[in-house]
């Protein structure tokens, strides 16, 4: 009796749940028939033998969804745009599949295993979108011969292509970012030497992501004589009372915020709670986007963050709106196009597409393997002309990579939240490579020794 009741309840519930989701996606992107005719040639099936497969690790659920969703939208929108506007990369369409990781490392590895062999030639390049996952996949990528682009995150020492041939932390590592922030603090104090005796607090996400900048900041602290206060915040970061009580007690001169997801908006709210001035708080580029400051509303005004790219719309956004959103093919909401993280993801996707294009110049216009794409990334040369052609003028910056430098650019600007939008608040600030380079050298040598791999793959 009991059993049959339960069964019936389940029989009713499950179709309801599935029916509910069907309706949901229907309202998102118009009716399904209209959708299908529009989607032709834009969304390519993974099994298409003539398409280049690009795996997408994303997180649209969980504590990191507010930040993960715009990233996933921007990335997939750009890939769709290349299909819709240009008919693919030199005629080779892009197929992609999203895999939800929830920002969990173990789930990311599962997604990696699931997607790496898909498409006619396997995955072209992985963008793990998580430093923890990058650490794990770094061990697997050389075996599977698939490159990783970790734009603005990942292992800092992996910019040394001689030891990490498969990792590409393009546009800056966390060591670079930390050094830029310290340089900026020096600038506003009239020189780095004036940081002596100051107290700088690092409020960080207690994970490989948050811990990455610590070695550089410690080195800088001992060089310049400021006091570094490292305050960890446990995942997912909604509980920060003790961290900010400590900040109220210690009254540091500056707070560096190394957060992601809900941790950022919570931190800004907590800072308001303990009356810590927002204009003395500086975020990493992952803590400087709309979802971070909007929940804190007016309290966030004056908060600054380092920026790979700020918000706004270029030519490419107009194309995305007309080719995708006007036809109901966009990945997210129209309003989200041009937000900070959306733009970061567009730059990331553009790097992927240009790497494949570069690789095609050597291996021909056909779906390429991960190994061939790796060559394309390493020989990437993005000029002002390319950027103009991509419709990203003012959003993407020239860079060229080579075997010994997988980072390409070690300069960034800061942007400030004015209550409504982010606007650049400083000029370009360059990190001091004479500080970072020896650290990269020694960290990658240690890695190579432990892993038993050569340190000079570039010379051969």
Partner 1 sequence: MFYREAGQFKTSYKADQAVFPIFQDKIFVAIWLFIGFVVVPMLASEYMFRAIFIPVIIMALAAIGLNLLVGYCGQVSLGSGAFMAVGAYAAYNFMIRVPELNPLICFLLGGLSATVVGVIFGIPSLRIKGFYLAVATLALQFFTDWTFSRIDWFTNYTPSGSIAVQPIEVLGVVFDSPIRKYFLCLVFLVIFTIIGKNIVRGRIGRAWMATRDMDVAAEIIGIRPVYAKLSAFAVSSFFIGVAGALWAFVHLGSWEPLAFDINLSFSILFMVIIGGLGSIVGGMLGAAFITLLPLFLNQLPVWLGINISTAMISHLEFMIFGALIIFFLAVEPLGLARIWQITKEKLRLWPFPH
Residue ranges binding partner 1 (CB under 8 A): 2-3, 6, 10, 13-14, 17-18, 21-22, 24-25, 28, 58, 60-61, 65, 69, 98-100, 102, 105-106, 109-110, 113-114, 117, 131-132, 135-136, 138-140, 143, 155, 206-208, 211-212, 214-215, 232, 235, 443, 447, 450-452
Q: What phi and psi values does residue 391 have, to the nearest 5 degrees?
A: 75, 30
Supply the minimum distance, in Å, between the C-beta of residue 75 and partner 1.
Answer: 12
Supply the minimum distance, in Å, between the C-beta of residue 134 and partner 1.
Answer: 9
| Residue whose CB is less far from partner 1, 2 or 460 | 2
| Residue whose CB is less far from partner 1, 211 or 366 | 211
Supply the minimum distance, in Å, between the C-beta of residue 459 and partner 1.
Answer: 23
Q: What is the dihedral of CA 309, 393, 127, 80, to 10 degrees?
A: 120
| Residue whose CB is less far from partner 1, 28 or 423 | 28
For the chain, the distance separating the N- and C-terminal CA atoms, rounded to the nearest angstrom, is: 74
Supply the minimum distance, in Å, between the C-beta of residue 450 and partner 1.
Answer: 8
Supply the minimum distance, in Å, between the C-beta of residue 302 and partner 1.
Answer: 31
* Residue 229, C-beta contacts closer than 8 angstroms, at least 6 positions apart: 199, 200, 201, 202, 246, 250, 252
Please give the Cα distance from 73 to 22 (Å, whole number): 20
Q: Which of 146, 142, 74, 135 is nearest to 108 (CA)?
A: 135
Angle at 212 between CA 411 and CA 160, to 5 degrees: 60
Residue 372's SS3 state is helix
Q: Which of 424, 322, 394 is nearest to 42 (CA)?
A: 322
Give the DSSP letter of residue 296: G
**Residue found under tokens 């206060």:** 229
| Residue whose CB is less far from partner 1, 98 or 432 | 98
Structure tokens at 213: 């900048």
Supply the minimum distance, in Å, between the C-beta of residue 215 and partner 1.
Answer: 4
Please give the Cα distance from 163 to 157 (Å, whole number): 9
Supply the minimum distance, in Å, between the C-beta of residue 3 and partner 1.
Answer: 6
Contact at 8 Å (CB) between 318 and 184? Answer: no
Cα separations in angstroms, 243 against 149, 221, 449: 33, 21, 37
Residue 338's SS3 state is coil
| Residue whose CB is less far from partner 1, 214 or 356 | 214
| Residue whose CB is less far from partner 1, 121 or 360 | 121
Contact at 8 Å (CB) between 41 and 92? Answer: no
Please give the Cα distance from 7 to 11 (Å, whole number): 6
| Residue whose CB is less far from partner 1, 109 or 457 | 109
| Residue whose CB is less far from partner 1, 21 or 238 | 21
Supply the minimum distance, in Å, between the C-beta of residue 339 and partner 1.
Answer: 18
Supply the minimum distance, in Å, between the C-beta of residue 261 and partner 1.
Answer: 14
| Residue whose CB is less far from partner 1, 13 or 297 | 13
């Amino acid at each position: 009796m009991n059993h049959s009741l339960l069964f019936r309840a389940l029989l009713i519930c499950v179709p309801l749940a599935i029916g509910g989701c069907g309706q949901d996606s229907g309202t998102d992107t118009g009716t399904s028939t209209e959708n299908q005719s529009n989607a032709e040639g834009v969304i390519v099936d993974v099994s298409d033998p003539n398409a280049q497969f690009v795996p997408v690790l994303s997180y649209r659920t969980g504590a990191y969804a507010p930040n993960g969703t715009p990233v996933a939208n921007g990335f997939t929108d750009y890939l769709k745009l290349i299909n819709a506007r240009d008919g693919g990369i030199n005629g080779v369409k892009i197929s992609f599949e999203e895999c939800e990781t929830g920002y969990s490392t173990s789930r990311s590895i599962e997604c990696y295993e699931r997607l790496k062999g898909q498409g006619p030639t396997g995955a072209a390049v992985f963008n793990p979108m998580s430093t923890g996952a990058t650490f794990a996949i770094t061990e697997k990528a050389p075996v599977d011969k698939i490159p990783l682009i970790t734009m603005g995150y990942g292992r800092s020492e992996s910019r040394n292509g001689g030891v990490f041939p498969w990792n590409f932390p393009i546009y800056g590592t966390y060591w670079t970012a930390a050094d830029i922030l310290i340089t900026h603090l020096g600038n506003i104090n009239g020189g780095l030497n004036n940081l002596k005796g100051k107290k700088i607090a690092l409020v960080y996400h207690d994970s490989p992501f948050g811990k990455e900048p610590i070695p550089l900041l410690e080195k800088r602290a001992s060089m310049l004589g400021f006091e570094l206060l490292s305050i960890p915040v446990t995942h997912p970061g909604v509980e920060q009372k003790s961290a900010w009580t400590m900040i109220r007690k210690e009254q540091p001169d500056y707070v560096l915020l190394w957060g992601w997801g809900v941790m950022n908006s919570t931190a800004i709210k907590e800072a308001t709670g303990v009356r810590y001035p927002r204009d003395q708080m500086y975020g990493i580029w992952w803590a400087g986007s709309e979802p971070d400051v909007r929940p804190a509303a007016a309290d966030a005004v004056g908060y600054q963050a380092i920026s790979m790219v700020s918000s706004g719309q270029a030519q490419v956004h107009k194309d995305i709106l007309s080719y995708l959103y006007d036809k109901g093919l966009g990945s997210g909401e129209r309003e989200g196009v041009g937000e900070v993280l959306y733009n970061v993801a567009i730059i990331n996707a553009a790097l992927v597409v240009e790497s494949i294009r570069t690789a095609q110049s050597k291996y021909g216009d056909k779906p390429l393997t991960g190994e061939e794409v790796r060559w394309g990334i390493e020989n990437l040369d993005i000029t002002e002309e390319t950027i103009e052609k991509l419709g990203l003028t003012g959003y993407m910056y020239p860079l060229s990579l080579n075997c010994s430098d997988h980072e390409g650019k070690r300069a960034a600007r800061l942007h400030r939240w004015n209550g409504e939008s982010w606007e650049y608040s400083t000029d370009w600030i360059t990190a001091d490579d004479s500080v970072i380079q020896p650290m990269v050298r020694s960290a990658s040598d240690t890695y190579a020794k432990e892993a038993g791999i050569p340190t000079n793959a570039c010379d051969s």
